[in-house]
Structure 1
Amino acid sequence: MRIVVAGCGRVGSVLAAQLVRENHDIRVIDRDRTAGRRLPPGFPGRFHVGNGFSRSVLEEAGIGHSDALVAVTSGDYSNLVVARTAKETFRVPIVLARVHEPRHAGLYDGFGIPTVCDVTWSVNRIHQMLLHRHLVPDITFGNGETLLVRSTLPGYLAGRKLTEFEVDGEIRVVEVTRDGRSHIPHLVTTAAPQDVVTFAVAARALRRLRGFLDKELGT
């Protein structure tokens, strides 16, 4: 993929370095010429000096033929302008942005631009590690509001329908692995000893899910 990274701070530089290791065509933009020093020696991508919201700078970076743009500058409004320009003017297929202030996320939502919020993600992750350490997520979505969590069911739940663990809008059973084989459960599927179940769960409902499992986890 050709990916334009607007912002070469700590996040942008590390992201760019990781992507080039995966053989992506990376173009990095930053208005500070010295920011390029954060990139690894021999960086095979391109570094462009200028404002990411400048159309001419974006064009120089090859935005017109890019598969994605990631806006990770130090300013929320700058990221919004860069992301909107990429999405609306250059029709870039994938546009993502970093948000520093959680209250600004709604601005991006209105333009259909997915965001990652440092504060919200960190709070959700720390909360989970403190209070729900047995429920380690395989995947998180958005800023951590929704997670996929896998857990071995305690023996005392054997024989109960898996749908009994579901809560509308909060918890869904999406997969069960039994004897090494994975399948999507039916409405009448019952739990068996040593089942490993994948739950889609809202972060706010982790405590409720944990309540199903705590008896044998001993917490």
Structure 2
Amino acid sequence: MYVVIMGCGRVGAALAAGLDRLGHEVAVIDRNRQAFRRLSPDFRGKQVVGEGYHREVLVEAGVEGAQAFAAVSSGDNSNIISARVARETFGVDRVVARIYDAKRAAVYERLGIPTVATVPWSTDRFLRMLLPDGVASAWREPTGTVAILALPVHEEWVGHPIRDLEAATGSRVAFIVRFGTGILPGPDTAVQAEDTIYVAAVSGTVSDVTAAAGAPPQEG
């Protein structure tokens, strides 16, 4: 496929190198010609100097024939403007923008521009490495609002239906791994010993969800 990348910083250069290595056609845009020095001498793609949200620069980069566009410069505004131009003006199907401000990322997601919110994503990666298994999230959607985590539960939850666990924790059970196989439970599915239960929860409530699941169920 043909991919246009806006921004030749560390991320842009690494992304361009990976795509080039996999045999894809790549064009990289950056306003600073010196930024292209981050690319390998063996890089086979196109290098375009200019602002990635200017129509003529995008045309020079071949956006009219591109199947994907990635905006990964250091500026949120530049990234989202160029991503919207690629999507709305040139009709590129696959568009993604790197955004540092998580609140902005949520807005742009609603506008139909997939984003990678750098700070929440990085924070989550650190949490997964620092905290015990099952406490940190296994996945977080791009705005960082909803997390999926493997939830350790008190042994007395065995035999109780999933709906009771959801009500006690304020989370939603996404799936269960049981005897090595993933299953999609219904509200009446009973918790079994050795189940690994993955739940979806609002990020700010993860500690409360974990604490509730770690306590025995309240009767009644």
Q: TM-score normalised by the shorter chain: which range applies?
A: 0.7 to 0.9
Aligned to 1:33: 33
Q: Give the deviation of 1:2 after TM superposition.
A: 2.0
Distance 1:97 1:169 in 2: 34
Aligned to 2:207: 207
Q: Give the deviation of 1:102 after TM superposition.
A: 4.3
- In the superposition, the TM-score normalised over structure 1's length comes to 0.83
Q: Give the deviation of 1:181 after TM superposition.
A: 2.4
16-25 vs 35-44, which moves further: 16-25
Judge conservation of contact 1:153–1:194 (CA < 8 Å) in 2: no
Aligned to 1:187: 187
Q: Give the deviation of 1:63 after TM superposition.
A: 0.7
Judge conservation of contact 1:132–1:207 (CA < 8 Å) in 2: no
Q: CA RMSD in A?
A: 2.9
* Unmatched 5+ stretches in structure 1: none
* Unmatched 5+ stretches in structure 2: none
Q: Which amino acid is 2:201 matched to? A: V
Residue 51 in structure 1 maps to residue 51 in structure 2: yes
Residue 77 and residue 17 in structure 1: after superposition, are their counterparts in 2 closer, same or farther (change >3 A)?
same
Aligned to 2:196: 196
Residue 137 and residue 123 in structure 1: after superposition, are their counterparts in 2 closer, same or farther (change >3 A)?
closer
Aligned to 2:10: 10
Q: Give the deviation of 1:115 after TM superposition.
A: 2.4
Judge conservation of contact 2:169–2:209 (CA < 8 Å) in 1: no
Judge conservation of contact 1:100–1:118 (CA < 8 Å) in 2: yes
Alignment of 1:63-78 (within 5 A): 63-78=63-78
**Matched residue pairs, number?**
216
* Identity score, percent: 36
Question: C-alpha offsets along residues 122-181 of structure 1, whole Å, 9 cap, x if unaligned?
Answer: 445556666675334333212322222234645332111122222599521121121222
